[in-house]
Chains A and B, each alone.
Chain A
């Protein structure tokens, strides 16, 4: 089982690592092993615990972008009523871009999440994929298209000019985050850069894409938390969820400001360094 202390640590890490492009799932696999805790990724009680922390993360993301979501949902409803996306209706177009970006990862997640998690659940593979995640972030910064200065225009306005194909590409890239060690937000941001977005816009699109997919995945598994698998873990799960909620809020706030002027490079370097050190440590029998 999970103690309250372990739950708090895992919640804090989940809250930071989910929006940061460093793989929350990978850290969730590696951390218990690194600390010598008897918690494994596929334990029923741990999966129930993760439901609570992911739900908390999704709720914070929803609250953080609440005003944006109200505009976006209104835009989608308006377009459905009018049976067209009017020229200049950025909210409607952004809404449909998000839907198109969510469908591929939703399908892949629904059908392959369990097998991928069971095949790649070991800390050693998570450490190796953490290196690959770092290389992906560094590679995306090298492959990025030159972005024209767009200071005068709002982020949503710029995002709404993305093509349907690119929205599908960015959304599909999220699926790599199902493998522990690869970051969902990192993959989305990397794909966004390659598709021609700025770091700021790629981060915003990644957070907007994250909300429905994390929320839906967590809601689908709420019965696990409320059922027998959640017995004895609901108290720690609540503590973990509160910690995750607090750290997610500050992490998103920090990252939105960070990506106004900075790049993915430091996160890439962190992932490669941490991945190499952990791989060596696990090989040495840690």
Chain B
């Protein structure tokens, strides 16, 4: 499978962004999350103090998947397929 340098860079970038998102979910309660984050609620809500740990785990899982993709896409097998193509 041929993989462009751009795809690898996008995967690494997405992985980094998702890591940050995961950290925010782990660290901040629901009312302190940025408004555009799924799970954000107003300070008066009964769920305001809830930490969306599951959302954080989901973001972390996708981040690791993105890094794994980039790792293999720049490995020896990918380089061999590039030189033989």
Contacts and interface: CB of A to CB of B under 8 A. Distances in A.
A103 B58 CA distance: 9
B37 to A, nearest CB: 13
Contacts of A80: 68, 71
Contact of A83 (B54, B62, B76): B76
B57 interface: yes
Interface string B31-64: 0000000100000000000000111011001100
B57 A110 contact: yes
Contact of A110 (B54, B74, B76): B54
Determine chain A's interface SS by DSSP, over half rule: helix
A82 interface: yes
A138 to B, nearest CB: 34
A110 B75 contact: no
Contacts of A85: 72, 77
A107 B62 contact: yes
Interface string A75-87: 0000110111100
A111 interface: yes
A83 B57 contact: no
A217 to B, nearest CB: 10
B65 interface: yes
A107 B61 contact: yes
Given A82-B76, A83-B76, A84-B76, A106 B71 contact: no
Interface residues of B, number: 17
Interface in A208-225: 220
A274 B38 CA distance: 39
Contacts of A111: 38, 54-55, 58
B61 A220 contact: no
A48 B76 CA distance: 48
A80 B74 CA distance: 12
A106 B56 CA distance: 12
Contacts of B55: 110-111
A199 to B, nearest CB: 30
B61 A103 contact: yes
Interface in A102-136: 103, 106-107, 110-111
A82 B71 CA distance: 10
A83 B79 CA distance: 11
A84 B61 contact: no
A107 B58 contact: yes
Nearest to A76: B68
Contact of A106 (B61, B76, B78): B61
B65 A103 contact: yes
Given A111-B54, A111-B55, A83 B61 contact: no
Contacts of A79: 72
A105 to B, nearest CB: 11
A135 to B, nearest CB: 31
Interface in A129-186: none
Contacts of A220: 53-54, 57
A82 B53 CA distance: 33
Interface of A: 79-80, 82-85, 99, 103, 106-107, 110-111, 220
Interface of B: 38, 53-55, 57-58, 61-62, 65, 68, 71-72, 74-78
4 nearest A-B residue pairs (beta carbon): A83-B75, A84-B77, A110-B54, A110-B58
